[in-house]
Structure 1
Amino acid sequence: MIISKITGGLGNQMFQYAIAKSIATVRNDIFKLDTTAYETYKLHNGYRLNAFSLEVSLAKEDEIFRLRGFDNRIFNKLNFFKPKSYYLEKERTIYDDKVFSYKDIYLDGYWQNEAYFLDIRKSLLEDFKLNKMLSPKAEASLLNIKSSSGISVHVRRGDYLKHPEIGILSVDYYKRAIEYMKGKVENPQFFIFSNDIPWCKENFSFIKEVTYIEESESELEDLELMKSCHHNIVANSSFSWWGAWLNDYKEKIVIAPKQWMAINPKNYKWSPNSWIEISTMEA
């Protein structure tokens, strides 16, 4: 059995689901999710995978305990008093093929590397379809996107302003990314997604072919709209990452920040090799 700990916002949850399904597929085994973190985790919007068309089982308390043992932050980190099935991610974004060799495994980590699940991409594209209709306003935005050479531009601010270790991407990053797209895409139309649209309107006056997405009812609708664009300019966000990765346009161009985290002493790399990386962080 494979059990994956689900925690964090929507993007993180999608990574944690994807690796579990991938391992289960390779091993012809079952996988379940441990969502008990949301009994105390109050950030973002809680557990969100139930908004997709995927079918999944939630792990029972005894199953979680058998594979994870006691849930203690210190013991987890030091691996004290933990069953052999408990597996804490060793290094962020670094592919670790050992996770595929366990008969039973409890996955505790973020697993932000497409190598874990690239082989089941087709299946994940189906799984991560919304199970409800878009709102009328989001549907109107979708029609606008599909009738153009749409390029999503994601700007993450808000909560990131309180996390200097993550960092805010500079306006220069977006200027350079947009100029690159203009040189590659005929008649580009830029669609701005952000948790700070007023800031974007104030700082993105240099974009002439622009539509600000302001009336989506949730981040789920934003994700659906972002992945429907032909091309993507992503922020340093797992949510933004999935918006681009789920884009199934064959000739898509994805631009991502080279410096994903402001503090990244080990130079971890979040972007797939097929994406174009541009540097710059806001000072």
Structure 2
Amino acid sequence: MIYVDVKGNLGNQLFIYSFARSLQKQTGQKICLNTTYLSKYYPEYKYSLDDYILNPNVYVEKKKKLPFFMNIYSLPSKAILRLLAKSPKIDNRISILAFNFFSKYGFFIWLKETYINIKIRPHKNYYVTGFWQSPKYFDQIKKNLENELKPKHNLLKHNKELFDIICQKETICVTIRRGDYVSNSKIKDSYYLCGPEYFLEGVNEIRKKYSEAVVVCFSDDIEWVKNNIDFKCETYYESGTDPVWEKLRLMSACKHFVISNSSFSWWAEYLSTRNGCVIAPSKWYVDERPVDIYREGWKYIKV
């Protein structure tokens, strides 16, 4: 069995599932998605993978006790991580050494944004905790993911007209993340990079090549977008009230993308099969920490 610690909102959960799915493909083991820590430490987050088809050999466990050192939310773990963060070079060396040691026994613990090479050894059980935000972990099963990461639910009736427009036109999906990126000062200091100028420049860049392209906006604050950003072209707006599985369905049906530094935004582009242009911010975090989330062929705008 592959026991997986589920974290974050849908975007993070999709990365975690995809990593586990790739591990499953290599080992033949069943997957147990463990939501114990999600509900205990972050009750505001919802387990969202239930809305997707997924592989039939996937189970959900709400109260599975994992080995104590897998709980990154415990006070001892937080203290160690805080101490190591003061010296990034030492932190990185220790993280790699710890990963290599634990992985020998089937424990995959990696909290970095960078990719780490995985060596698979046969074990009865595997335990996984991390965010796994790199396509390098699961690009080899992309077709499987495209088939499995589809909503169980039908398209909502009020979105039929918008969905038809998205599928029939040269649509540019613009995802504008606000929410805690602007309202929470701590999060803003780490994540807020993409202001109105970024999205305007991204749309203009795509429309230089595709002059007939239209914009479809998605945001957690759609009224703010309507009142503050004028793309000066035909523009449509998702209601802002749809469930996340519906938003992602609409987003991934678009052809071109101006993404923000958000895992949810990233997955909309990854699950699209229309091979359009992708514009991304030149860095993913304010502090410019190294990441492996970028994909080949993207174009970047300096932020």
Range class of TM-score, shorter chain: 0.7 to 0.9
Task: Letter of the 1:145 partner, please give it.
Answer: I
Q: Could you say which residue in structure 1 is the equivalent of 2:90?
A: none
CA distance in 1, matches of 2:69, 2:292: 31
User: Residue in 2 aligned with 1:138?
Assistant: 159
Structural RMSD (CA):
2.3
State the number of aligned residues: 272
Is the alpha carbon distance of 1:237 and 1:215 closer, same or farther for their aligned partners in structure 2, counting shifts above 3 Å? closer
Partners of 1:60 and 1:218 in 2: CA distance: 22
State whether residues 157 and 168 of structure 1, in contact with CA within 8 Å, keep that contact through their aligned partners in structure 2.
no
- Residue 31 of structure 1: CA displacement? 2.1
Equivalent in the alignment of 2:95: none
Q: Give the counterpart letter for 1:48 in structure 2.
A: S
Give the aligned partner of residue 181 of structure 2.
160
Pick the aligned partner of 2:269 from 222, 238, 244.
244
1:101 deviation in Å?
3.9
Unaligned stretches of 5+ in structure 1? none
Question: Alpha-carbon deviation of 1:98?
Answer: 2.5
1:26 maps onto 2:26 in alignment? yes
| Counterpart for residue 216 of structure 2 | 191
Counterpart residue number, 2:6 = 6
**Matches of 2:259 and 2:38, distance apart in 1:** 27
Give the % identical residues.
27
- 1:43 is matched with 44
Aligned in 2, Cα 1:29/1:209: closer, same or farther, shift over 3 Å? Answer: same
CA contact 1:23–1:99 (8 Å) conserved in 2: no
Q: Which residue in 2 is equivalent to 1:254? A: 278
1: CA distance, partners of 2:116 / 2:283? 22
**Counterpart pick for 2:294 among 267, 271, 274:** 271
**1:74 CA displacement:** 2.2
Aligned-partner SS, 2:133 = coil
134, 139, 142: which one pairs with 1:118? 139
Match of 1:12, as an amino acid? N
Could you tell me how far 1:218 is from its partner in structure 2?
Answer: 1.2
Structure 1 9/102 Cα, relative in aligned 2: closer, same or farther at 3 Å? farther
What TM-score do you get using the length of structure 1 for normalisation? 0.88
Cα distance in 1 for residues equivalent to 2:200 and 2:140? 34
Letter in 2 for 1:42: P
Q: Which amino acid aligns with 2:130?
A: G
Match for residue 59 of structure 2 among 50, 57, 60: 57
Deviation at 1:123, TM superposition (A): 0.6
Confirm whether residue 214 of structure 1 aligns to residue 239 of structure 2. yes
Higher share of residues assigned helix: 2
Give the CA deviation at 1:267. 3.0
1:229·1:247 contact (CA, 8 Å) conserved in 2?
yes
Alignment match of 2:203 (pick from 178, 185, 190): 178
The structural deviation recorded for 1:89 is 0.6
Q: For the structure 1 residues 175 and 59, does the alpha-carbon distance in structure 2 shift closer, same or farther, using more than 3 Å as the test?
A: same
- Aligned partner of 1:267: which letter? P
1:33 maps to a residue whose letter is L
Which one of the candidate residues 209, 225, 233 is aligned to 1:200?
225
Structure 2 unaligned runs (5+)?
A: 82-97
